[in-house]
Amino acid sequence: MKCNICERGCTIPEGNTGACGLYKNNGENIIELFPNKYLTVCPISIETMPVLHFYPRGKFLQISTTGCNFNCRGCFSTVIAKEMAPTSKALRELSPQQVVDEAVKNECIGIAFLLNDPLASLPTFLKVATLAQKNGLLVGCSTNAYFTETSLAQITRYLDFINVGVKGLSLRAYQNCGGGTVQPVLRNIKRLYQSGIHVEVSCILQNNNMEEVLELAKKLANISPEIPLQLMRFIPLEGADPALEPSIRSAENLYQSLRKHLNYVYLFNSPGTDYLNTFCPNCGEVIFKRDFYGPMGAKLLFSESDSARNNICPQCGWKIPIKALPAEINYREGDFQGGYPFTRALEMVEAILITIGVTDIKQVVQVWESMLGQNELQKLHQSIQNIGSYLEVIRYFGKLVQMEEKAAELVAYIEEKISLINISLLAVKKKPRVYYAMGKPLFCLMGKRFENQLVEAAGGISVNKEIECSGRPGSRISVEKLNALNPDVIFISAFLSSSVEDFYAECCKAGINVGAVKNKRIYSHPAPGWDFGSPRWILGLLYMANMLHPEVYHFDVWAEAARFYKQFYGSDFSLAEINRSFSKPSNKWEWRND
Q: Which domains does the chain have, with CATH numbers?
A: 34-309 (3.20.20.70), 341-425 (no CATH), 433-557 (3.40.50.1980)
| Contact partners, residue 364, CB within 8 Å, separation at least 6 | 83, 349, 350, 353, 354, 358
Strands 59-64 and 461-462, sheet pairing:
unpaired
Of 533, 522, 521, 525, nearest to 584 by C-alpha is: 533
Q: Which residues pair with 23 in a beta bridge?
A: 32
Write out the DSSP string of 530-572.
Answer: SSSSSTTHHHHHHHHHHHH-TTT----HHHHHHHHIIIIISS-
Cα–Cα distances in angstroms (integers) from residue 557 to residues 491, 525, 547, in the given order: 17, 11, 11
pTM, whole model, 2 decimals?
Answer: 0.95
Question: Per-residue pLDDT for the chain (594 aa), expressed as one digit of tens each?
Answer: 999 999 999 999 999 999 999 999 999 999 999 999 999 999 999 999 999 999 999 999 999 999 999 998 878 788 888 888 899 999 999 999 999 999 999 999 999 999 899 999 999 999 999 999 999 999 999 999 999 999 999 999 999 999 999 999 999 999 999 999 999 999 999 999 999 999 999 999 999 999 999 999 999 999 999 999 999 999 999 899 999 999 999 999 999 999 999 999 999 999 999 999 999 999 999 999 999 998 899 999 865 444 456 788 988 999 999 999 998 888 888 777 777 788 888 999 999 999 999 999 999 999 999 988 888 888 888 889 999 999 999 999 999 999 999 999 999 999 999 999 999 888 888 999 999 999 999 999 999 999 999 999 999 999 999 998 877 899 999 999 999 999 999 999 999 889 999 999 999 999 999 999 999 999 999 999 999 999 999 999 999 999 999 999 999 999 999 999 999 999 999 999 999 999 999 999 999 865
